[in-house]
Amino acid sequence: MKDFAKLEKTLGVKFKTKDSLKQALVHRSYLNEHGDFPLDHNERLEFLGDAVLEIVVTEFLYFKFPEKPEGDLTNLRASLVNAKMLSRVAADLDIDDNLYLSRGESKDKESKARQYILADAVEAIIGAIYLDQGIRQTKKFIKEKILCHLDEVIEQQLYLDPKSKFQEKSQEIYGLTPHYLVMSEVGPDHAKTFKIAAYIGDELISQGEGTSKQEAQVEAAIAALKEKKW
């Protein structure tokens, strides 16, 4: 049983239009099994929320770090708005229990796909807050629930680009530049999942998955750094 009053309390937002929050939690798969559901899926809200999240985080970092160049700011922003971080935020907010998912998706709790569904739901909720409450409340939510992780990102150097680090270490130790190969590409055009392998020469080091080739390469590089203990 979904408890939207409890979720609103966790989010710190009391919605004027409750259906805005509800729609933010509707995955496309749910509508395939519930054609009479009165609301659409959350992809348009996700599209809006993604843009709002990016501009709010960008503005915050721009003024907080006036001395940092564009490249460093980009890496910091990416570490705060990627799927891994947003799925953590979703877990903190107990969003999973309130999602509208198909029976198959509901059972698939530990997969990479669930991480992306949760991250997308966070972006959709941001879009819903923006429409329902305006930019001031949206900034407050992003600051309290997402930007609060900035110190951790800096302390643990989560902003460092894993592909660059993997390449530097590979060149230093092996004299070779890593390369990446697409192993599989599944799903419809609007929701593809890529599996990509990272190689040093002919040696398969690791694999990664993502909703874009770039994201899958980054995940493969992260796995390679762990595998090589670099």
Domain-wise residue ranges, the chain: 4-155, 162-228
pTM across the whole model: 0.76
CATH of domain 162-228: 3.30.160.20
List 159's β-bridge partners, or say none.
none
Domain 4-155 classified CATH 3.40.50.620?
no
Question: What positions carry a catalytic annotation?
Answer: 50, 123
Q: Starting from the edge strand earliest in sequence, which strands make up the sheet with 203-210, in order?
A: 179-186, 193-200, 203-210
Structure tokens at 137: 């409340």
Q: Do domains 4-155 and 162-228 have the same CATH topology?
A: no
Helix extents (H) in 134-161: 135-145, 150-155
* Per-residue pLDDT of the chain in tens (230 residues, 90 and over written 9): 788 999 999 999 999 999 999 999 999 999 999 989 999 999 999 999 999 999 999 999 999 999 999 988 998 999 999 998 999 999 999 999 999 999 888 887 777 789 999 999 999 999 999 999 999 999 999 999 999 999 999 988 788 788 988 998 999 999 999 999 999 999 888 778 999 999 999 999 999 998 889 889 999 999 999 999 98
Positive or negative: CA dihedral 91, 136, 13, 103: negative
The radius of gyration computed from the CA coordinates of the chain, to the nearest angstrom, equals 19
Residue 60 CB coordination number (10 Å): 19
